[in-house]
Amino acid sequence: MKELDFKTFMAWVEKRNPNQPEFIQAVQEVAASVIPFINKHPKYLRTRVLERMTEPDRAIVFRVAWEDDSGNVQINKGYRVQFNNAIGPYKGGLRFHPSVDMSILKFLGFEQTFKNSLTSLALGGGKGGSDFEPKGKSDREIMRFCQAFMTELFRHIGADIDVPAGDIGVGNKE
């Protein structure tokens, strides 16, 4: 590969991430800035740094089954995108909101990687959450949802692996 072409690179990203407009837009903004630098420094081109930066280490999707106050079982999707742990464990918030999907979380996890790299802390980037809407739910429903969510998520996190934090819809109560 002699040079990285922006249009060719973005076509590759779009093919690998169909129906993920938020993520594609974030990659597009970074790629437009970074590709000229990569083309001037062949070692980054040769090691495919940009391609590696735009592909998460893993993206986990899981079912969250929980019981509402009426005794009905509700089903939500849970996610954790572990984007990059090159300088430390994955770190990024958990978001509970009906708009949460893989595109949103990949976009946020991608940006979280850069945000964390600019601190003096040895932290990678990640993001997670669920399409669960805490608004209008009782404290007990939120508790049951959070317990079910963490029962699925816990096997993928830990102090040296992944450190989730709060974000939209996730605060002290959750």
Digit-coded pLDDT (tens) for 102-126: 999 999 999 999 999 999 889 999 9
| Inter-helix orientation angle 102-117/21-40, to 10° | 40
Question: What pLDDT is attached to residue 7?
Answer: 96
3-state secondary structure of 67: strand
Kindly state the average pLDDT of the residues 152-159.
87
Eight-state DSSP code of residue 120: S
Say if residue 174's pLDDT is above 60. Answer: no
> How many Å apart are CA 172 and CA 88, to the nearest integer?
25
Active site residues: 127
Per the confidence metrics, is the pTM higher than 0.85?
A: yes
- List the domains of the chain with CATH numbers: 6-53 (no CATH), 58-166 (3.40.50.10860)
Whether residue 170 has pLDDT greater than 90: no
To which H or E segment does residue 112 belong? helix 102-117
Average pLDDT, the chain: 92
Helix (H, G, I), strand (E, B) or coil at 141: helix
Average pLDDT rounded to a whole number, residues 134-157: 94
Which SS3 state, helix, strand or coil, does residue 99 take? Answer: coil
| Spatial distance between the Cα atoms of 161 and 159, rounded to a whole number of angstroms | 6
Distance (Å, rounded) from C-alpha 125 to C-alpha 109? 6
Q: What is the mean pLDDT of residues 122-146?
A: 96
Give the whole-angstrom CA distance, residue 28 versus residue 14. 10
CA distance 27 to 33: 10
Average pLDDT over residues 125-129: 95
pLDDT in tens, 54-98: 999 999 999 999 999 999 999 999 999 999 999 999 999 999 999
Task: Give the range among 30-34, 122-126, 142-146, 155-159 with minimum mean pLDDT.
Answer: 155-159
